[in-house]
């Protein structure tokens, strides 16, 4: 896995590089220290995952992420920050980034990178616990307009609660394959990319 690290604290970036490369299956293609560099380095190296801080001098990580995702809609961006700021969390989610974890959870970084590499999303427990409040859930939404059945609505609600496909299957007495098929159809009907965007949609509809 090739990654790019962007953090305005050079010592943190170098430490991350040393530790992540020690496992042997992660290679750091480049290190940057600003949002502007993040955009440039992504264009140059096209990494599997971009590991980026949020609060930086000049262009922030969120601003850089928005530019990158407009040019590369399949970009996998994992935000790593010391700030569990509600506004940052909401912006990161709405951008469609693949994850947001806190630097304090250092042991989670390598597993999070591998999860994001597989196309899944990763959010720390601190972030997940805040989603229902942050996204300001509203009760009224015309699901029928989008052809969403009651079963699909049930699945959307369980995804928003953070349940895995296996847990949803057990809750609704379905097979995991059936749940995956339902999810694919739901994402297509709502023009969403993944289950993270689906959860954001649910809490912001």
Write down the pLDDT at residue 115: 87
pLDDT of residue 94: 73
In a 13 Å sphere around the CA of 89, the CA atoms on its Cβ side amount to: 22
In this prediction the pTM is 0.62
What's the pLDDT at 202? 83
Per-residue pLDDT at 140: 60
Chain-centroid distance, C-alpha 179: 21
CA dist 193 and 165 (Å) reads 16
Q: Identify the structural domains of the chain with CATH numbers, from first to last.
A: 2-133 (3.40.50.2300), 135-204 (1.10.10.10)
How much is the pLDDT for 141? 72
pLDDT reported for residue 139: 46
pLDDT by residue for the chain (205 residues), tens digit each? Answer: 999 999 999 998 999 999 899 888 999 999 999 999 999 999 999 999 999 998 888 899 999 999 999 999 889 999 987 766 666 777 777 777 777 887 777 778 888 898 888 888 787 666 665 665 555 544 467 788 889 998 999 999 899 888 999 999 999 999 999 999 999 999 999 888 888 888 888 876 6
- The span from the CA of 114 to the CA of 119, in Å, is 9
Q: DSSP assignment of 43-97, as one string?
A: HHH--SEEEE-SS-SSS-HHHHHHHHHHH-TT--EEEEES---HHHHHHHHHHT-
């Amino acid at each position: 896995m090739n990654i790019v690290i962007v953090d305005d604290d050079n010592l943190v970036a170098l430490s991350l590089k040393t530790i992540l490369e020690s496992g042997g299956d992660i290679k750091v293609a480049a290190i940057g220290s600003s949002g502007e560099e993040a955009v440039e380095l992504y264009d140059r190296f096209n990494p599997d995952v971009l590991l980026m801080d949020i609060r930086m001098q000049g262009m922030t990580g969120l601003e850089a992420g928005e530019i990158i995702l407009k040019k590369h809609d399949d970009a996998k961006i994992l935000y790593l920050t010391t700030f569990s700021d509600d506004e940052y969390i909401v912006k990161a989610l709405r951008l469609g980034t693949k994850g947001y974890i806190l630097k304090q959870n250092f042991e989670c970084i390598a597993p999070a990178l591998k999860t994001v590499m597989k196309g899944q999303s990763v959010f720390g427990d601190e972030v997940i616990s805040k989603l229902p409040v942050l996204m300001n859930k509203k009760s009224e939404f015309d699901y029928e307009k989008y052809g969403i059945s009651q079963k699909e609505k049930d699945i959307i609600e369980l995804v928003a609660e953070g349940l895995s496909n296996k847990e949803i299957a057990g809750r609704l007495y379905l097979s995991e394959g059936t749940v995956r098929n339902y999810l694919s159809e739901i994402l297509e009907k709502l023009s969403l990319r993944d289950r993270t965007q689906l959860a954001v949609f649910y809490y912001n509809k």
